[in-house]
Amino acid sequence: MKQRYVLRVNGRDLEAEAGAHESLLDVLRERLRLTGSKKGCNEAECGSCTVLLDGRPVVSCLVLVPDAADRDVVTIEALAEEGVPHPIQRQMVEQGGVQCGYCTPGMIMSAYALLRDNPDPTDEEIRFAISGNICRCTGYGKIVKAVRAAALEMKEQSGNGGAAS
């Protein structure tokens, strides 16, 4: 039943034995021990499992592992570089966008994809980008604020010739 799959996760080729029916999320969490992506519903309703697949944010709970083989997967674990949190991660902390934290990794991945494609989003664009990520604690206001602050920080960094991701 089980097969060996090679997944390109966070820039590294990782091997995992799994059944074809297993989801990318389960393989990341249970086989590769990358548990930053969360399992809030397992049916694409909550967004807490959001990862990038070939650069696109997807709900990893619905991607079957053979479908992810030989494709680029980026998870929350890859965002901090050499221990330095990504501006979105830092601003989520500073603006109070993190409470219980369970939605946070998925929320950050959606925001990350947004700011990569649209470095200067309006609040409406931010809300649209995270509309597939449910948060039950914050009421979203501080998350939107954090993404806005992160966009500004990233713009300043790139303006100063710094390393914006």
For binding to other proteins (CB under 8 A), which residues are involved? Answer: 1, 19-21, 23, 29, 33, 35-48, 50, 53, 56-59, 62-64, 66-67, 75-77, 79-80, 85, 89-90, 92-94, 96, 98-105, 108, 110, 128-129, 131-137, 139-141, 145
50-53 and 72-74 beta bridge pairing: antiparallel
For other proteins, the closer of residues 20 and 156 by Cβ is 20
For other proteins, the closer of residues 27 and 108 by Cβ is 108
For other proteins, the closer of residues 19 and 119 by Cβ is 19
Cα distance between residue 47 and residue 109, in whole Å: 10
Question: From the CB of 41, what's the least distance to other proteins, in Å?
Answer: 4
Edge-to-edge strands of the sheet including 72-74? 12-18, 3-9, 72-74, 50-53, 56-59
Cα distance between residue 44 and residue 22, in whole Å: 15
For other proteins, the closer of residues 25 and 158 by Cβ is 25
Question: From the CB of 8, what's the least distance to other proteins, in Å?
Answer: 17
Cα distance between residue 106 and residue 49, in whole Å: 6
Exposed/middle/buried for 165, CB within 10 Å: 0-12, 13-18, 19+? middle
Question: From the CB of 155, what's the least distance to other proteins, in Å?
Answer: 20
